[in-house]
Structure 1
Amino acid sequence: MKRADYYLIRFIYATILMLISVLTVEGQVRIKGRIVNASTKEPISTATIKSEEHNTGASATKTGAFELILDKPISSILVTALGFVDKRVEIDTFISYLQIELDPKNFAIEAVEVNRKRKYNNHNPAVELIDLVIKNRSLNKLEKKDSLYFESYEKIKFGLMDPKNIFGRQSKDLKFFYSNVDTSIVSEKEALSVFMQETLSDNYVQQSPARTKKIVKAEEKTEFDPRYVNNPNIESFMGFMFQPIDIYEESIYFLNKQFLSPIASNAKLYYKYYIKDTLRTERDIYVRIEFEPRNPVDLLFKGELAISMDGQYAVKSAQMRLDEKVNVSFVNDLQLQLSYFKDVSGVMLQDTSAITVTFGRGTKDALFGHRMNVNQKYDLRHIAADGIFMGSPVEKRLSARKTLQELRPIQLSSSEQSTYTNIDSLNNLTSFRTMMAMGYLLSQGYYSLGKFELGPLEYLYHQNNIEGNRIRIGGRSTAAFSEKVYLEGYLAYGIKDQDLKYNLRTAVSLNGKSIVAFPAHYLEASVQHDIFEPGKGIGFLKGDSFFRGFRSNRPAKFLNTDAYRIGHMIEFGNHVSLSSKVTLQRRNPVGDLRFALSADSTQFLNTINTSDLQFVLRWAPNEKFYYRNLNRTTIVEKYPVFNIQYNKGLNGFLGGDYNYDALRFSASKRFFLNQLGFGNMTISAGKIWGTLPYPLLEMPNIQENKDRHTISYERVNSMEFVADQYLKLAYDHRLNGFLLNKIPLIKKLKLREVFGARMFWGDLSQKNNPYMSNDVVYFDKDTEGKILTNVMGKDPYWEGYVGLDNIFRVLRVQYYVRMTYNEIKEPIRDRFRLSLHFSF
Structure 2
Amino acid sequence: MRSVPSFYLWCAFVFVFCLTAKSSLAQSVVSGKVQSKETKQAIPGATITDLNSKKGASADKNGSFTLKLDSNAKQIEIRAMGYKPIVVPLPIKPGNNVFELVDESNRIEAVSISHKKKYSNKNNPAVELIDLVIRNKHKNRLSGKDSLEFDQYDKLKFGLLDPKISGKQGMLGLNFLFRNIDSSSYDGKKLLSLYLEETNAKVFGKKNPSKFKRVITAQKKTEFDKRYINNPNIQEFLNFMFQQVDVYDESVYILNKQFLSPIADNGKVFYKYYITDTIFNDEGYFIQLRFEPRNKTDLLFKGVLQVSMDGSYAVKQANLKIDKESNLNWVKEGEINFHYLKNDSGIMLIDSTRTFLTFGVRKGESIFADRVSVNNNYKLGEKFPTDVFAGPPTEILPQAGITIPERPIALNQAEQNTYRNIETLNQKKSFKTLMAVGYLLSQGYYNLGMFELGPLEYVYSQNNIERNRFRIGGRTTQALTDKAFFEGYIAYGQDDARLKYFLRTAVSLNGKSIVTFPAHYIEGSIQNDIMEPGQQIGFLKGDSFFRSIRRNRPTKWFDTRAYQLQHVFEFGNHFSISTGFTHRNQNTVGDLRLINSGNPDLLLTHIQSNEAHIDFRWAPFEKFYYRNLTRKTIIEKHPVFNIMYTHSLDGFWNTTYKYDKLTASASKRFFLNQLGFADLKVTGGKLWGTLPYTMLELPNVKQKEDRHTVDFDMMNPMEFVADKYLKVKFYHQMQGFLFNKIPLIKKLNLREVWGAQMFYGQLSDRNNPYISNNVVEFDTNKEGLTLTHVPNSEPYWEGIVGIDNILNVLKVEYVKRLSFNGLPNVNNDRFRVSININF
TM-score above 0.5: yes
- Code of the residue aligned with 1:635 in structure 2: it is I
The answer as to whether partners of 1:703 and 1:714 remain within 8 angstroms in 2 is: no
Task: Report the Cα distance in structure 2 between the residues aligned to 1:101 and 1:380, rounded to whole angstroms.
Answer: 29
Distance 1:733 1:429, change over 3 A: same
Superposed CA offset, 1:193-230 (max 9, x none) = 11111111111112333332211111101111100000
Instruction: For residue 701 of structure 1, give the secondary structure of its aligned residue in structure 2.
Output: coil
Q: Deviation digits for residues 325-351 of structure 1, max 9, x if unmatched?
A: 000111111110111111122211111
Q: Is the 8 A contact 1:533 1:555 kept in 2?
A: yes
State the alpha-carbon separation in 2 of the partners of residues 255 and 79 from structure 1: 33
- When residues 91 and 704 of structure 1 are mapped into structure 2, their CA distance, relative to the original with a 3 A threshold, is farther
Report the Cα distance in structure 2 between the residues aligned to 1:826 and 1:376, rounded to whole angstroms. 68
SS of structure 2 residue aligned to 1:423: helix
Aligned match of 2:369: 369
Q: Which residue of 2 aligns with 1:601?
A: 600
What does residue range 556-705 of structure 1 map to in structure 2 within 5 Å?
A: 556-701=555-700
When structure 1 is superposed on structure 2, of 181-190 and 38-47 the one drifting more is 38-47
Residue 833, structure 1, aligned to residue 832, structure 2: yes
Mapped to 1, the partners of 2:780 and 2:84 lie a distance apart of 83
Compared CA separation, residues 334 and 379, structure 1 to 2 (3 A): same
Does the residue aligned with 1:825 lie in a helix, a strand or coil?
Answer: coil
Give 2:198's aligned residue: 198
Shift of residue 552, structure 1, vs aligned partner: 1.5
RMSD of aligned alpha carbons: 2.8
> Structure 2 vs 1, CA of residues 320 and 363 (structure 1 numbering), >3 Å: closer, same or farther?
farther
CA distance in 1, matches of 2:793, 2:781: 25
Residues 1:202 and 1:51: Cα distance change in structure 2 (over 3 Å): closer
Report 1:234-253 matches (<5 A).
Answer: 234-253=234-253
* Contact in 2 for aligned 1:51/1:57 (Cα 8 Å): no
The equivalent of 1:474 in structure 2 is 473
Residue aligning to 2:220: 220
Contact kept in structure 1, 2:333 and 2:358, CA below 8 Å: yes
Alignment of 1:370-449 (within 5 A): 370-399=370-399, 403-405=403-405, 407-449=406-448
Aligned to 2:550: 551
Q: In terms of mean alpha carbon deviation, does 221-230 or 647-656 score higher?
A: 647-656
Question: Could you list the per-position Cα deviations for residues 603-654 of structure 1 after superposition, in whole angstroms to 9, with x for gaps in the alignment?
Answer: 1100111101111100000000001111111100000000001011112212
Is the partner of 2:603 in helix, strand or coil? coil
Instruction: Specify the alignment match of 2:452 in structure 1.
Output: 453
* Paired letter, 1:671: F
Q: Does residue 1:490 correspond to 2:499, yes or no? A: no
Deviation of 1:187 (Å): 3.5
- Go from structure 1 to structure 2 and tell me whether the alpha carbon gap of 1:704 and 1:274 turns closer, same or farther (over 3 Å shift): farther
CA distance in structure 1 between the partners assigned to 2:113 and 2:254 by the alignment: 33
Tell me the distance in 2 between the aligned counterparts of 1:69 and 1:471: 64
Deviations 1:698-744 (A, max 9, x none): 11125769244211110101101000000110001000000000000
Deviation for aligned residue 1:829: 3.0
Taking a change above 3 Å as real, the CA distance of residues 266 and 495 of structure 1, as seen in their structure-2 partners, is same
The corresponding residue for 1:289 is 289
Alignment of 1:339-350 (within 5 A): 339-350=339-350
Work out whether residues 680 and 732 of structure 1, in 8 Å CA contact, stay in contact via their aligned partners in 2.
yes
1:191–1:548 distance in 2 versus 1, CA, 3 Å: same
Cα gap change, 1:269 to 1:365, in 2 (>3 Å)? farther
Q: How does 1:196-345 map to 2 (within 5 A)?
A: 196-345=196-345
Per-residue deviation, 1:570:
0.1
**Counterpart residue number, 1:146:** 146
How has the CA–CA distance of structure 1 residues 805 and 185 changed in structure 2, closer, same or farther, with 3 Å as cutoff? farther
Structure-2 separation of matches of 1:678 and 1:66? 46
Following superposition, the deviation at residue 189 of structure 1 comes to 2.2
2:358 maps to amino acid = T
- Matched letter for residue 794 of structure 1: S
Do residues 137 (structure 1) and 137 (structure 2) align? Answer: yes
* Preserved contact between residue 594 and residue 604 of structure 1 (Cα < 8 Å): yes
Task: Check conservation: 1:756, 1:801, Cα contact below 8 A.
Answer: yes
The CA deviation at 1:494 is 0.3
Structure 1 residues 400 and 671 mapped into 2: Cα distance closer, same or farther (>3 Å)? closer
One-letter identity of the residue aligned with 2:219: E
Counterpart Cα distance in 1 of 2:777 and 2:177: 71
Q: Check whether the contact 2:33–2:65 (CA below 8 A) recurs between aligned residues.
A: no
Structure-2 change in CA distance of 1:369 and 1:67 (3 Å): farther
Instruction: Check 1:78–1:154 CA distance in 2 against 1; reply closer, same or farther (3 A cut).
Output: closer
Task: Name the CA shift for 1:179/1:122 in 2 (closer, same or farther; >3 Å).
Answer: farther
Deviations 1:539-582 (A, max 9, x none): 10111212222112233211111110001000001100000110
- Report the 3-state secondary structure (helix = DSSP H, G, I; strand = E; otherwise coil) of the residue aligned with 1:600: coil
Contact 2:316–2:339, Cα closer than 8 Å, also in 1: yes
- Secondary structure of 2:594 counterpart: coil
Amino acid at match of 2:763: L
Structure 1 residues 593 and 294: alpha-carbon distance in aligned structure 2, compared to 1, 3 A threshold: same
Structure 1 residue 154 displacement after superposition:
0.9
Alpha-carbon distance between aligned partners in 1 of 2:722 and 2:264, rounded to the nearest angstrom? 47
Which residue in 2 is equivalent to 1:158?
158
Contact 2:534 2:701 in 1 (8 A): no
Higher relative CO (CA 8 A, sep ≥ 6), structure 1 or 2? Answer: 1
Q: Which residue of 2 aligns with 1:112?
A: 113
Q: CA deviation at 1:305?
A: 0.6
Which residue number in structure 1 is paired with residue 821 of structure 2?
Answer: 822
1-structure distance, mates of 2:694, 2:616: 25
Do 1:69 and 1:413's aligned partners in 2 also have CA atoms closer than 8 Å? no
Residues 32 and 95, structure 2, Cα contact 8 Å, conserved in 1: no
Shift in Å, 1:261: 0.5
Compared CA separation, residues 59 and 832, structure 1 to 2 (3 A):
farther
Q: Could you say which residue in structure 2 is the equivalent of 1:782? A: 781
Name the CA distance, whole Å, in 1 between partners of 2:185 and 2:506.
Answer: 45
Distance in 1, matches of 2:442 and 2:179, equals 32
Q: Distance in 2 between matches of 1:678 and 1:168?
A: 48
- Bigger drift between 223-232 and 652-661 goes to 652-661
User: Shift of the alpha carbon at 1:396?
Assistant: 1.1
Q: Secondary structure at the match of 1:732?
A: strand
> For each residue in 1:332-380, what CA deviation from the matched residue of structure 2 results, as whole angstroms up to 9, or x when unmatched?
1111011111112221111100111111125434211111111111111
Other-structure match for 1:13: none
1:795 positional shift: 1.3
Helix, strand or coil for the counterpart of 2:370?
Answer: strand
Shift of 1:90: 7.7
Q: Aligned AA for 2:679?
A: N
- Bigger shift: 189-198 or 560-569? 189-198
Contact 1:113 1:276 in 2 (8 A): yes
**Contact 1:219/1:398 (8 A) holds in 2:** no
Q: Take 2:518 and 2:710, find their aligned partners in 1: how far apart are those partners? A: 27
Amino acid across the alignment from 1:440: Y
Cα shift at 1:833: 0.8
Distance in 1, Cα, partners of 2:746 & 2:315: 33
Count matched residues: 801
Q: In the TM superposition, what whole-angstrom CA distance separates every residue of 1:156-180 from its partner, at most 9, and x where no partner exists?
A: 1111122226x67565955534431
Output the TM-score relative to the length of structure 2. 0.91
C-alpha spacing 1:103/1:455, structure 2 compared with 1 (3 Å): closer
With the length of structure 1 as denominator, give the TM-score of the two structures. 0.90
Who wins on radius of gyration, i.e. which is larger?
Answer: 2
